[in-house]
């Protein structure tokens, strides 16, 4: 009877371990499915981004953006200069009147 009790205890422990392993496998399957969905979503985002940038070199786009910003600053400076000149001419005209 002692051996039967030991065998029963061993079987109970084995059953618990199998149940834990089964739960762990189910959790891992759930996580794997979630990660696969996330990977698919990220692949779709990458494909969308590639489609928008098709044929465009990001480095070239950044260089062009830098150039455009520089030109914008130059135009604004020129605009301020023209405004100052117009104000000066306007005040000279007012003095002539």
Q: How many domains does the chain have?
A: 2
Question: Are 41 and 2 found together in one domain?
Answer: yes
Question: Are 49 and 77 found together in one domain?
Answer: no
pLDDT at 4 over 70: no
pLDDT at 52 over 70: yes
pLDDT at 87 over 80: yes
Measured CA angle at 96 (ends 92, 97), to 5 deg: 120
pLDDT at 7 over 60: yes
User: How far is the C-alpha of 95 from the C-alpha of 97, rounded, in Å?
Assistant: 5
Question: Are 39 and 64 found together in one domain?
Answer: no
Instruction: Read off the tokens for 86.
Output: 């117009």
Helices (H), the chain: 2-52, 58-96
pLDDT at 55: 73
pLDDT at 23 over 90: yes
User: How far is the C-alpha of 78 from the C-alpha of 85, rounded, in Å?
Assistant: 10
pLDDT at 3 over 90: no
What is the pLDDT averaged over residues 6-12? 78
Domain hosting 21: range is 1-55
Question: Are 39 and 77 found together in one domain?
Answer: no
pTM above 0.85, yes or no: no
Question: Are 73 and 97 found together in one domain?
Answer: yes
């Amino acid at each position: 009877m002692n051996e039967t009790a030991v065998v029963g205890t061993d079987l109970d422990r084995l059953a618990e371990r199998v149940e834990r392993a089964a739960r762990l496998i189910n959790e891992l399957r759930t996580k794997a499915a979630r990660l696969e969905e996330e990977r698919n979503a990220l692949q779709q985002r990458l494909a969308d981004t590639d489609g928008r940038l098709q044929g465009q070199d990001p480095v070239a786009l950044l260089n062009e953006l830098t150039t455009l910003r520089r030109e914008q600053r130059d135009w604004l400076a020129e605009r301020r200069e023209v405004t100052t000149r117009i104000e000066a001419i306007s005040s000279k005209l007012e003095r002539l009147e």
